[in-house]
Chain A
């Protein structure tokens, strides 16, 4: 495999990174109102959020991208492969992150809510200053491992023509007939990408732990 071949593969790297971080960012943000709806006192809203989460998580990511790109994109409004992939993966990330947040929320001792209530901190202050900072710390390891999972999942975007790592690998393997070498390099790049995430998550966790625990 020549150096030029490696560069062809590397051209997919920014797309994989952009898709991963973009979808994760969308997911992390959209998950907040989704969780709020999921935990709402208002039953219809709660049911809506619950079914949305179930449906989004229940359908394979590949199918979501097909629905958005070929279904909506071709029939109703033109949409670029990248935006379609970002939308689909962002939606999936939102549903998954909402569940991760929810688990973290449940892990916060009810005494924290009670202490905040007794101090007459309003609901918003309680969540913003007391509950969310603690829940985010709990959510961090799961969120990081989900981020790594999401990065690998972005490979499905190759099926609708986003020129990310897997797409470039596939193209190159068809040009060079060196599938094994090409995909080994692509695989290695995914591993390399996951390393800083794992490392960051561990050090952030250790830092927060050292601040809080005895």
Chain B
């Protein structure tokens, strides 16, 4: 775990008293940074998301758990419009998008710039150096100069403990390192919210740990995060809130303690039992 210990230099706050951590955030009027209303998605006759309502507070870390096909990844991908929802609204900070209307490119841009995304399969750009992976969008999207972008990229690579990999290509890095680079890349646009789509599922357990350490540090710094995960340890110990999904619906949502230790719904109990029995 080269370097992954670095960020523990800041004493981790407990998830209960975690606050904004100094990150400036534009908030909706009622203190939510993400607000979904009646968000729906169908593939043919199959309902993938059934009118989802969700509020996420600034600095909140929300873990979404549930069986495969429950719609949790689709929900995440709808939030930044990688997947087009069929209906409902998405509000991030001051930007609201109504999925039932045609969306303008400029509106989509505003939405996506507020949201960083980390994929299960990393999706780094293999033909670019690690440094370029983290700096290119800063130049093309934010209009930063090359020097500015690379300086920021180096800061972020140091933050994820990979400054020494800056000149290499991603193919020369381990899966865990690649995912940490992907986190740095997403952070480079200074997002207000980070979405993680099963960030450790493609990694063996030890490499997963170094990614989870970076995510924990990010959570402790006050970043608002939505994490689709099968890592029950993360859901229980790092996230503030846990949401259980099944069949395109929210089964239950509550504090991580409550959902993980005293689930109210039979469906959640069954899922957690299955996970723990493995």
- Chain A residues close to B by CB (< 8 Å): 109, 111-112, 114-115, 117-122, 125, 129-130, 133-134, 137, 211-214
Q: Contact between B127 and A121 (Cβ–Cβ < 8 Å)?
A: no
Q: Point out the residue from A112, A122, A137 that lies within 8 Å of B125, measured CB to CB.
A: A112
Q: Contact between A111 and B121 (Cβ–Cβ < 8 Å)?
A: yes
Q: Contact between B171 and A119 (Cβ–Cβ < 8 Å)?
A: no
| Chain A residues whose C-beta falls within 8 Å of the C-beta of B169 in the assembled complex | 211-212
Q: Contact between B185 and A119 (Cβ–Cβ < 8 Å)?
A: yes
With A117-B112, A119-B185 as contacts: A130 and B125 at CB distance below 8 Å: yes
| Chain A residues whose C-beta falls within 8 Å of the C-beta of B119 in the assembled complex | 111, 114-115, 118
Q: Contact between A133 and B127 (Cβ–Cβ < 8 Å)?
A: yes
Q: Contact between A119 and B137 (Cβ–Cβ < 8 Å)?
A: yes
| Chain A residues whose C-beta falls within 8 Å of the C-beta of B13 in the assembled complex | none
Interchain CA distance A208-B208 in the complex, whole Å: 30
Assess whether B4 is interfacial by the CB under 8 Å rule.
Answer: no
Interchain CA distance A117-B126 in the complex, whole Å: 16
With A118-B112, A137-B127, A212-B126 as contacts: A129 and B140 at CB distance below 8 Å: yes
Closest to B141 in A: A120
A110 to chain B, nearest CB (A): 9
Assess whether B18 is interfacial by the CB under 8 Å rule.
Answer: no
| Chain A residues whose C-beta falls within 8 Å of the C-beta of B108 in the assembled complex | 120
Interchain CA distance A195-B127 in the complex, whole Å: 28
Assess whether B272 is interfacial by the CB under 8 Å rule.
Answer: no
A47 to chain B, nearest CB (A): 25
Q: Contact between A111 and B109 (Cβ–Cβ < 8 Å)?
A: no
A124 to chain B, nearest CB (A): 9
Interchain CA distance A114-B108 in the complex, whole Å: 14
| Chain A residues whose C-beta falls within 8 Å of the C-beta of B117 in the assembled complex | 115, 118
Count of chain B residues with Cβ under 8 Å from any Cβ of A?
27
Q: Contact between B141 and A119 (Cβ–Cβ < 8 Å)?
A: yes
9 CB < 8 A contacts A-B: A109-B121, A115-B125, A118-B80, A118-B115, A120-B137, A122-B140, A130-B125, A211-B127, A213-B171
| Chain A residues whose C-beta falls within 8 Å of the C-beta of B140 in the assembled complex | 121-122, 125, 129
| Chain A residues whose C-beta falls within 8 Å of the C-beta of B182 in the assembled complex | 115
The total of interchain contacts (Cβ-Cβ below 8 angstroms) comes to: 64
The B164-218 residues at the A interface (CB cut-off 8 A) are: 169, 171-172, 182, 185-186, 189
B174 to chain A, nearest CB (A): 10
Interchain CA distance A173-B108 in the complex, whole Å: 69
With A118-B80, A118-B117 as contacts: A129 and B126 at CB distance below 8 Å: no
Assess whether B82 is interfacial by the CB under 8 Å rule.
Answer: yes
B86 to chain A, nearest CB (A): 19
Interchain CA distance A118-B124 in the complex, whole Å: 12
Interchain CA distance A211-B186 in the complex, whole Å: 23
Assess whether B95 is interfacial by the CB under 8 Å rule.
Answer: no
Q: Contact between A120 and B109 (Cβ–Cβ < 8 Å)?
A: yes
Closest to A123 in B: B105
A14 to chain B, nearest CB (A): 36
Interchain CA distance A119-B125 in the complex, whole Å: 12
Given contacts A118-B186, A121-B137, A134-B127, 10 further A-B contacts (CB under 8 A): A114-B123, A115-B124, A115-B182, A119-B112, A119-B141, A120-B108, A120-B113, A120-B141, A211-B127, A211-B169
A120 to chain B, nearest CB (A): 4
B76 to chain A, nearest CB (A): 11
Interchain CA distance A118-B116 in the complex, whole Å: 7
Q: Contact between B127 and A118 (Cβ–Cβ < 8 Å)?
A: no
Interchain CA distance A212-B127 in the complex, whole Å: 5
Interchain CA distance A114-B182 in the complex, whole Å: 13
| Chain B residues whose C-beta falls within 8 Å of the C-beta of A130 in the assembled complex | 125
Query: Closest 5 CB pairs between A and B?
Result: A115-B123, A111-B123, A118-B117, A119-B137, A120-B112
Assess whether B136 is interfacial by the CB under 8 Å rule.
Answer: yes
Closest to A133 in B: B127
Interchain CA distance A119-B140 in the complex, whole Å: 10
| Chain A residues whose C-beta falls within 8 Å of the C-beta of B186 in the assembled complex | 118-119
Q: Point out the residue from A118, A125, A213 that lies within 8 Å of B82, measured CB to CB.
A: A118
Interchain CA distance A130-B185 in the complex, whole Å: 14
With A114-B82, A117-B112, A119-B189 as contacts: A129 and B123 at CB distance below 8 Å: no
Interchain CA distance A114-B112 in the complex, whole Å: 12
| Chain B residues whose C-beta falls within 8 Å of the C-beta of A122 in the assembled complex | 140
